[in-house]
Homo-oligomer: A and B are copies of this chain.
Amino acid sequence: MAQEDVASVVEKSVTFTAYKPQLIVESQRVGDAVAFYKAVFGAEETGHSLYPKRKADQELPHLVSAELNLAGTTVVVSDVSVNSNANKGSMPAILETDDVEAAVAKAVGAGAVNVEEEVEGGVKGKVTDPFGFTWIFVSPAKKSESDETKEV
């Protein structure tokens, strides 16, 4: 990307339509965490992803991630093994936007560090801001209500 293109992207207005804290849990404990948040906080599960069948042949099938409604906010509980560069116990925030590239450019222009960009079922960007928080930019989710299986 040429220097002037970067500048125009930084100036661009970017709209964020949803904020979802992502709770990264130890491998194979998404189910336990979901049970805990349901029991203690009255959270309601609104969607989840499972490990693919071929893995379920060898071990009990389990969740890679689950989306919960917790006191009116959507919270994503996610297995650390499917989140590169994330530690268990960390809580990156997912921000949905129609323009991931512009969001990354704008954040970096203001002092954030681009941690990772990947294409995996859609454009995705990840930055760490000057205050130590990680933000993941994604296109709005369209797949949270089904038992989708996902290759990991």
Contact = CB atoms under 8 A, between A and B. Distances in A.
Contacts of A13: 42
Contact of A42 (B15, B42, B112, B129): B15
A95 B130 contact: no
Interface string A14-26: 1111110101011
A107 interface: yes
Contacts of A95: 41, 71
Given A36-B130, A40-B112, A93 B21 contact: yes
A16 B72 CA distance: 9
Interface in A96-140: 96, 106-107, 110-112, 129-133
5 contacts: A21-B91, A23-B131, A36-B130, A40-B106, A89-B133
Interface of A: 13-19, 21, 23, 25-26, 29, 32-33, 36, 39-42, 70-73, 75, 88-89, 91, 93, 95-96, 106-107, 110-112, 129-133
